[in-house]
Amino acid sequence: MDNKRNSCLWFFPYGHNFLFLIMSIGLVEQVLGCAEVCHCEHLIVNCTDKQMEEFPTAIPMDTRQLVLTRNNLTYLPSEELNLLIDLVYLDCSRNILGDSLEATFIALPLVYLDLSHNNLSKITTSTFYLLTSLVVLKLSDNPNLQEIEKDSFANNTGLRHLDLSRTALTYLDVSTVSSLPSLRTLGLSFTPWDCYCPLKDLSVAAHLLLNHIYQHPYAENMTCSTPIHIHGLLLKDTEPHINLMCIPNLYERDYLFLGLVGFVIFGSGTIVAWLTGVCVVIYDRLESGDDKWTCFAMISCSS
């Protein structure tokens, strides 16, 4: 056995180095390889419309732009995805991704993330918490997206473009977007907003932001779905109607009624105070034994 091993090493004078080279080549192929169904060029991997049901495994480690649109992906594996430490652009639109995104984005320097046209139903405070470099986030056309927790984007302070259009949202806490100092484009159109009292702050914000700070794509379609009497009204124009519903309003007859009640209370208090004073004086006189005041007290009591 030793003779055979020595003969192999004699055939390869640098046997150990050669084996290391072979292993290194295999590792490089894994790192720099490209999935067969995808097209790789200049740090860009394009897997558009390949009917993939699973995340491609042979993705070059130095990929900076990954396009997975128009596939059948149901989840994104955190382990494989977070190996792409240089990834800044990720397009996962038009898949069937659900609510399995918790702890998905961990070590990614993503600047652009497109999750539109999927099956998301809820965004929590931890969904995008570690994406501190995020500038563009597209969540539009998720027909089941009904809830975005308050402060879901609190750690995405560099966010400039946020699209929530064409979702099932009926309410959004205004602080969720107003606390983003860099936000310039906010999409809220084609969404069935419930314009009741809880939405008052968002209505005010929509009016201010639409006219001063943010750009709203399709702003004319940011309308109320309920209540029925303001159905179709622009979100930015709902403040007076919401105030009418949510803030107590007094009419002229209400002021007259309150004035009358106040007068009656004041008059009653005055009479009670006068009678109390009279009774005190009479009591003092009675205690002093004055017969005249005794007779007066008897007459007063009888009356």
Quote the CA–CA distance of 77 and 92 in Å, as a whole number: 13
Q: What is the pLDDT of residues 192-210, one digit of tens each?
A: 877 766 554 555 445 444 4
Same domain, 70 and 125: yes
Same domain, 71 and 150: yes
Same domain, 129 and 28: no
Identify the bridge partners of residue 148 per DSSP, sorted by sequence position. 123
Q: Is residue 24 predicted with pLDDT exceeding 60?
A: no
Same domain, 76 and 179: yes
Question: Does a structural domain hold residue 115?
Answer: yes
Question: Does a structural domain hold residue 197?
Answer: no
Whether the Cβ atoms of residue 127 and residue 150 lie closer than 8 Å to each other: no
Which residue in 170, 103, 185, 173 sits closest to 138, CA to CA? Answer: 185
The SS3 of residue 259 is helix
Question: Does a structural domain hold residue 86?
Answer: yes
**pLDDT value at residue 212:** 42
Same domain, 177 and 58: yes
* Biggest CA-to-CA distance, the chain: 146
Quote the CA–CA distance of 301 and 293 in Å, as a whole number: 12
Same domain, 108 and 15: no
Same domain, 175 and 257: no
Same domain, 6 and 73: no
What does pTM read for this prediction? Answer: 0.67
Same domain, 12 and 92: no
Q: How many CB atoms lie within 10 A of CB 199?
A: 23
The SS3 of residue 210 is helix
Whether the Cβ atoms of residue 164 and residue 148 lie closer than 8 Å to each other: yes
Question: Does a structural domain hold residue 240?
Answer: no
Range of the domain at 285: 253-302
Q: Is residue 250 predicted with pLDDT exceeding 70?
A: no
Same domain, 56 and 135: yes
Quote the CA–CA distance of 87 and 255 in Å, as a whole number: 66
Degrees to nearest 5, angle at CA 79 with 76 and 82: 85
Question: Does a structural domain hold residue 65?
Answer: yes
Same domain, 169 and 261: no
Q: What is the pLDDT of residues 72-99, one digit of tens each?
A: 999 999 999 999 999 999 999 999 999 8
Quote the CA–CA distance of 303 and 301 in Å, as a whole number: 5
Same domain, 63 and 130: yes
- Supply the CATH number for residue 49's domain: 3.80.10.10
